[in-house]
Amino acid sequence: MGNGRTKVIACATVIEEMLPLMPSEIDYEVLDFGLHLVPGSLKTRLQEAIDAACSNYDTLILGYGLCSMAVVGLQSRNCTVVVPRVDDCIACFLGSREAYDNEHQKEPGTYYLTKGWIEVSDTLLDEYNRSVEKYGQERAERIMRIMLNNYKRLVYIDTGTENQDYYRDYARKVAEKFNLRFEEVKGSNSLIYRTLYGPWDDDFVVAQPGQTIKYTDFKTTAATTNNLSLYSTNSPLRKNPDA
């Protein structure tokens, strides 16, 4: 970590994996997962959190990736901002961008679940149940077929945290419900560990005081088929979290 005071600002899904590794003296702030659904709102909230923290901390660690371009344009003000150089948090759970790319090459249409995703985000089953209540079962099933048109596989990432059997069983039930091929892969906390402790090498974007994070800093594509691409900001299943 940096020589001065450090704070972590993380998505609720990522903080689940960070907390077991985080020193007790490190301050952290958790942002609502729902902000992802409107990337502009996530960008605004992240900038607000950075601005508020920069007067008290030398280094801010963001528990995010590129996240639908939400971090692009963030200004580091008078502190250093560190972000893993990944498309989204799935790479963090798998341990590296390379591990994520390997899974993507196996099956681009993959929906991922972890303990954190199941605990704090809306899974496919949550979406389906809410849609049944609002539209009825027939229309809900039609909506899910459209949403999952490009998805063939559900991968459960075992991140090694407690009570994995419960979350694995839940993920398997989701896969069965929506006729997705179920697979389990072993996750890794190596990238999350290095996010907290360094070294912040080429696997990280490090914005020095006064710098602005650019898309070219990531040198990667944001056009992957991941969990969040299922949900449009105009989806009838969701409301704008800022509304």
Q: Give yes or no for a cis peptide into 199 (omega within 30° of 0).
A: yes
Crossing angle of helices 124-135/137-147, nearest 10°? 140
Q: How far apart are CA 73 and CA 59, in angstroms?
A: 18
Q: What is the pLDDT of residue 10?
A: 96
Q: How far apart are CA 80 and CA 26, in angstroms?
A: 16
- CA distances to 33, 142, 230 from 137, rounded to whole Å, are 27, 9, 19
Q: How far apart are CA 201 and CA 221, in angstroms?
A: 20
Residue 38's pLDDT band (cuts 50, 70, 90):
confident
**Rounded mean pLDDT of the chain?**
86
Per the structure block, which two tokens stand in for 75?
Answer: 């200004």
9-18, 114-123, 174-183: the lowest-pLDDT one: 114-123
Quick: pLDDT tens for 91-109.
Answer: 999 999 999 999 999 999 9
Q: How far apart are CA 151 and CA 130, in angstroms?
A: 20
pLDDT beyond 80 at 243: no
32-46, 92-106, 142-156, 178-192: the lowest-pLDDT one: 32-46
Ordered alpha helix ranges (H), 97-242:
97-106, 115-120, 124-135, 137-147, 164-177, 190-197
% of the chain with per-residue pLDDT over 70? 88
What number is the average pLDDT over the span 31-58? 89
Quick: pLDDT tens for 189-241.
Answer: 999 999 999 999 999 999 999 999 999 998 754 444 455 444 433 332 232 33
104 in Cβ contact with 88 (< 8 Å): no
How many residues comprise the chain?
243
Q: What is the pLDDT of residue 136?
A: 92
* DSSP for residue 187: -
Quick: pLDDT tens for 132-150.
Answer: 998 999 998 999 999 899 9
Q: What is the pLDDT of residue 239?
A: 29
pLDDT beyond 50 at 19: yes
Q: How far apart are CA 220 and CA 69, in angstroms?
A: 11
* DSSP for residue 131: H
Q: What is the pLDDT of residue 2?
A: 41
pLDDT beyond 80 at 181: yes
